[in-house]
Structure 1
């Protein structure tokens, strides 16, 4: 069973993802910000990380960059609801995220992306 770490400061998003991913047969760990997520990954490397980009403390961009630099095999799916001049999702790709989603996201598409990333080497 693959383990997925969900890092998001919104408990409702973490809960939704936990429920959907658990029902799909995945083990789910949670963290409420990038700092907590990095510590969780260092304690127990997981198969996939789903990371919000805008969070307090260590944000998702910084955490994505740190994860992909320290762990070459780290797989990150980034997501954000941010709007405006800066394109956070493009930056997340540059920092090593394999896929990106804008909130609100389509759960079927997200589950398909999770399945594909877990199957990829």
Structure 2
């Protein structure tokens, strides 16, 4: 069963993503912020990291940078609804820094599952 790490400081949004992904047959672990997410990656194995961009302490851009530097084969999906910066600008930055997919909040269930399935088919062709 593919394992997905969801990193988002919004607990409700994290629960929604977890519900969609679990219903689709994935094991999901949630992290409350970037520091927590990176600590979990150190301790456990994941097939995909899905991270929000705007978070307190260590943001999703830093999570993306760290993952791509330390675990370059680990796919990352960056998600943002923007805030004081337009979501499109943040997602463009995430793509330039190596995000494998980007999704804008509010994330449609079908778009989420399509992005996850596409990445799993690339990294786990026999299981995705």
> Do both share a fold (TM > 0.5)?
yes
Aligned counterpart, 2:19: 19
CA–CA separation in structure 2 for the residues paired with 1:72 and 1:16: 27
The gaps in structure 2 that reach 5 residues or longer are: 124-128
CA–CA separation in structure 2 for the residues paired with 1:34 and 1:95: 16
Aligned counterpart, 2:111: 109
CA–CA separation in structure 2 for the residues paired with 1:7 and 1:88: 16
**TM-score, reference length from structure 2:** 0.90
CA–CA separation in structure 2 for the residues paired with 1:20 and 1:82: 22
SS at match of 2:9: coil
Q: Structure 1 segments of 4 or more deviating over 3 A?
A: 83-86
SS at match of 2:107: coil
> By how many angstroms is 1:39 displaced?
0.5
1:119 to 90, 99, 121: 121
The question of 1:71 aligning with 2:64 is answered no
> By how many angstroms is 1:109 displaced?
1.2
> By how many angstroms is 1:45 displaced?
2.5
Matched pairs, number:
121
Residues 95 and 45 (structure 1 numbering): CA distance in 2 closer, same or farther, change over 3 Å?
farther
CA–CA separation in structure 1 for the residues paired with 2:107 and 2:50: 12
Aligned counterpart, 2:101: 99
The gaps in structure 1 that reach 5 residues or longer are: none
**TM-score, reference length from structure 1:** 0.95
Aligned counterpart, 1:41: 41
CA RMSD of aligned residues (A): 1.2
